[in-house]
Amino acid sequence: MEKRVALELRGRNPSQVKELNLDNCRSTNIVGLTDEYINLENLSLNNVGLTTLKGFPKLPKLRKLELSDNRISNGLNFLNGCKKLTHLNLSGNKIKDLDTLKPLEDFEHLKNLDLFNNEVTSIDEYRSKVFALHPSLKYLDGFDKQDREAEDSDAEEEDELNGDNESEEDGTDVEEEEEDDEDVSLSAVYNDNLEEESSASSLYDGSDAEEDDEDVDDEEVENDREGNQNSKVQDGEENADGEPEESTRGKKRKHEDDDEN
């Protein structure tokens, strides 16, 4: 069993293990399992050949224990370190009387007990007596007090675990919703500011465009005016007093006529 435990660890720390399967590993007693498995929830020891539970470790979070097809006849008190046990399978063992089951009275959360194929099942009014011995028990050998078949134990345990965490999750959900509301309000304010800035910038850009257009128009008018004046001067249309001026060509011609005379 010790080698099988080391193999199933796969290099992990024992405190990290939540489920351990040691079926068919063959051992008459508990070896290799220690109190280090503080987070172990499911343990399977079917068809191992166990004759005693002496040395069974203290497993504070163990909920499901499989011990079917062994040779256990007594010593259930060695399981007292597993107070959260809800499912215990002892089918196919050597339990003969109800006194052997009395140590299970300390398990306040025990809901599913399987004693199928043990001699104790042949006792008169066996079922009613076992249910009376363990008030917390809901299913015995797969059936409840009204002989209705048990529900899926895994689904039931999952519901219990979810119920234990509901209060914590509710608190976190409320905080997350409040944070989401704050994010939405901040984003809305930010978007409003962006819209106001964009509208203001569009108005500002429009006024600048109009002013630029006016400046361009004024420059064009001024340039046209100067161009007209320059063309008039070059053509000799007017002098400073508004009288027509002779062009340079006219003056040259006049000078040549005077020379001939």
Q: pLDDT grade, residue 151 (50/70/90)?
A: confident
Secondary structure (3-state) at 187: helix
120-139: string of b/e by CB count within 10 Å (b at 16+)? beeeeebbeebbeebeebbb
132 or 207, greater pLDDT = 132
What pLDDT does residue 8 have?
92
Band of residue 181 on the pLDDT scale cut at 50, 70, 90: low
pLDDT at 199: 52
Rounded-to-10 torsion of CA 138, 143, 149, 152: 50
Q: Is the pTM of this model over 0.75?
A: no
* The predicted structure's pLDDT at residue 218: 53
Q: How far apart are CA 62 and CA 79, in angstroms?
A: 10
pLDDT over 50 at 204, yes or no: no
pLDDT of residue 150: 83
pLDDT tier at 17, thresholds 50, 70, 90:
very high
pLDDT score of 155 more than 70: no
Residue of 51, 118, 53 whose CA lies nearest to 85: 53
pLDDT value at residue 202: 47
* pLDDT band (50, 70, 90) for residue 159: low
Here the tokens at position 163 are 């119920």
Q: Is a pLDDT exceeding 80 seen at residue 240?
A: no
- Does 66 have pLDDT greater than 60? yes
Q: Worst-scoring range by mean pLDDT, 21-25, 35-39, 234-238?
A: 234-238
pLDDT reading at 83 higher than 60? yes
Q: What is residue 99's predicted lDDT score, i.e. its pLDDT?
A: 95
